[in-house]
Chains A and B, each alone.
Chain A
Amino acid sequence: MERVLELRDVSKHYPSHHAVNGVSLSLARGEFFSLLGPSGCGKTTTLRMVAGFEEPTRGEIRLNGASIQHLKPYQRNVSTVFQNYALFPHLSVRDNVEFGLRRRAGNHIADRVRDVLDLVQLAGKESRRPAQLSGGERQRVALARSLVLEPDVLLLDEPLSALDPNLRKQVRAELKAIQRRVGITFLFVTHDQEEALSLSDRLGVMNKGCLEQVGTPEEIYLRPSTRFVASFLGAVNWIGDVGVRPEAMRIARQASTNGHRSRPATILHSTFLGNCVHVDTRLSEGEPAVVEISRLGETFAPGEQVHLWWEPADELRFDELHQK
């Protein structure tokens, strides 16, 4: 695995708070890596340190093996797709895309601009101004403007959050396809766990300035190493010290003895969600638990006494003392 970007114990401290605390991370070339976390967790600050807009208080950032943390943004071969796209309003689509190419010599500029505009499906809109484009088109211009420079790492700061939800899923698929085609390393910052899970080869979950866990989407979702990671990636029912995801739980009218875990519970109510049904229950110990069941299966009436069961393998266990 060829390391293209490496963060070594990187911290960013402001007088009022510690935005990023000892983050260490390394990205393989061609990888789609996401930093996932709630707002204020330090993921954007981490991205901005890689871009060069913020200087780390401590630690080292290496690009292709060379320290870059003291370099200016224009000296680093990384490029950013900003959350609001930051397109230059006075320049046409073509001029926006050419902006970074001007300083580079060569007469292939026109070819490269045409290729990248084809790639993001903006051919024919070269002379439009950003104000004349839709949100999705602007996002693609921002992407093209960075991709055309062939950066070692492309940094994306919540690039889908400004799009409306219907468009977001479509653009998500396009983004992934483009990344596969160009083979450029993507460092993608998001607070949307579905985005991170569906797009990434690997992802890192951040909380309060610290990187809590790094792994593939499956590892993070199925074997979260902290309670925070478990809850941030999806709903969890906490039963004593273990967590069980709603979709890993089943409801039975009879107690099961097949080596499953089982708890008696009372049905509170069911919520129809279209593709599935969420059943709210209360365990006999008094804790609430939500079970996701197929809308094609059995139905349960409020007040019914049932048994919740799950496979031991689906339990999420933490030994948080080891974590910190």
Chain B
Amino acid sequence: MNRLRAWFLAPTWTFVVTLFLAPLAIILGYSLLTRGVYGGITAPWTAESYQRLIDPIYLGILWRSLWIAGASTLLCLLLGFPLALFISRAEKHKNFYLGLVMLPFWTSFLVRTYAWMFLLRDTGLVNTILQKLGVIHSPVPLLYNDGAVILGLVYGYLPFTVLPLYATLERLDRTLLEAAADLGAKPWAALTRITIPLSAPGIRAGAILVFIPCLGAYLTPDLLGGGKSVMIGNLIQNQFTTARDWPFGSAVSLVLMALVMVLLFAIARGEGESLL
């Protein structure tokens, strides 16, 4: 029996060890070594890469990543909740609406991000139309700033909040809303006192699914932030390419990962307590 179990688990273990644990160990090793002149790593062992992290420049990037990811998550929830509520309460065509939410996935994220660049640049569609309409006289800087990055992230990750929110709202017992109305709650009160508290699991899941990838986002800040709006993902990428500082890049990667794990752990604990 145990032998059979071992055989069944073997592929999983092989996968986890060779593709996850081993690379992680390599990164950990790199982060504790010295940078090579043309990239790569050399002896001796040192914790210098971690010490450099407390430099205000890097703390600033970390802080910026946190607030951009936080703002994007909040916006995704604010936009996604009404949408998910609408779809869950639709009399018919629910699958059609859900299909529309997922439609962007049919195109590459890179292509869609480029499309945003074409829309937002100085000679792009938005500025051209606003100028033609006489609303503005010179192009408004829509691209290469924090706003553009947040816009791109919200656009990219909105479906990840809509789907879990839809799943919880769909399961919500409708008689609870009837009971709320029956007890004198107007629609807004029923929403804030019943629907939103009871969709907490969906809100939590949606927030995690957006916040974590946003925190480590690389493509969106690179293209829409134009190098000005640097996030932690761009910092890591930079260390392995232009800066040729593999140990520092490895250290930042591990710190990002640790941060995410601490956050997830905290959320899981909070969830456990609220369920008790």
Contacts and interface: CB of A to CB of B under 8 A. Distances in A.
A74 interface: yes
A180 interface: no
A238 interface: no
B178 to A, nearest CB: 6
A100 B178 contact: no
Contact of B184 (A86, A88, A149): A149
A80 interface: yes
A99 B183 contact: yes
A136 interface: no
Contacts of A80: 178-179, 182
Contacts of A234: none
Interface of A: 51-53, 72-74, 78-80, 82, 84, 86-90, 99-100, 103, 145-146, 149
Contacts of A103: 184-185, 189
B180 A99 contact: yes
Interface residues of B, number: 18
Interface of B: 173, 175-176, 178-186, 189, 193-194, 197-198, 200
B175 A73 contact: no
Given A79-B183, A149-B183, A73 B194 contact: no
A79 B182 contact: yes
Contacts of B175: 82, 84, 86
Given A90-B197, A99-B193, A73 B178 contact: yes
A183 B258 CA distance: 63
A86 B181 contact: no
A74 B186 contact: yes
A191 B175 CA distance: 20
B89 to A, nearest CB: 15
A64 to B, nearest CB: 17
Contact of B198 (A90, A99, A145, A149): A90
Given A84-B173, A87-B179, 8 more contacts: A74-B185, A74-B186, A80-B179, A90-B200, A99-B193, A100-B184, A146-B183, A149-B184
Binding site secondary structure of chain A: loop
A100 B198 contact: no
A88 B183 CA distance: 12
Nearest to B197: A90
B186 A86 contact: no
Contacts of B173: 84, 86
Contacts of B184: 74, 100, 103, 149
Contact of B179 (A52, A72, A82, A90): A82
16 contacts: A52-B182, A53-B182, A73-B181, A73-B182, A74-B182, A74-B184, A79-B183, A80-B178, A80-B182, A88-B176, A88-B198, A90-B198, A99-B185, A100-B184, A103-B185, A146-B182
Nearest to B193: A99
Scoring A73, A87, A89, A149 by chain B CB atoms within 10 A of each residue's CB, the highest score goes to A73
Contacts of B183: 74, 79, 99-100, 145-146, 149
Contacts of B176: 86, 88
Nearest to B194: A88
Contacts of A51: 178, 182
A53 B189 CA distance: 17
B179 A53 contact: no
Nearest to A77: B184
Given A74-B186, A90-B197, A90-B198, A82 B180 contact: no
Identify the interface centre among B180, B182, B198: most chain A CB within 10 Å of its CB.
B182
A72 B180 CA distance: 12
Nearest to A98: B183
B72 to A, nearest CB: 28
Contacts of A100: 183-185
Contacts of A145: 183
A297 B84 CA distance: 69
Nearest to B176: A86
B179 A86 contact: yes
Contacts of B178: 51, 53, 73, 80, 82, 86
A100 B178 CA distance: 13
A86 B180 CA distance: 9
A106 to B, nearest CB: 14
Contacts of A87: 179
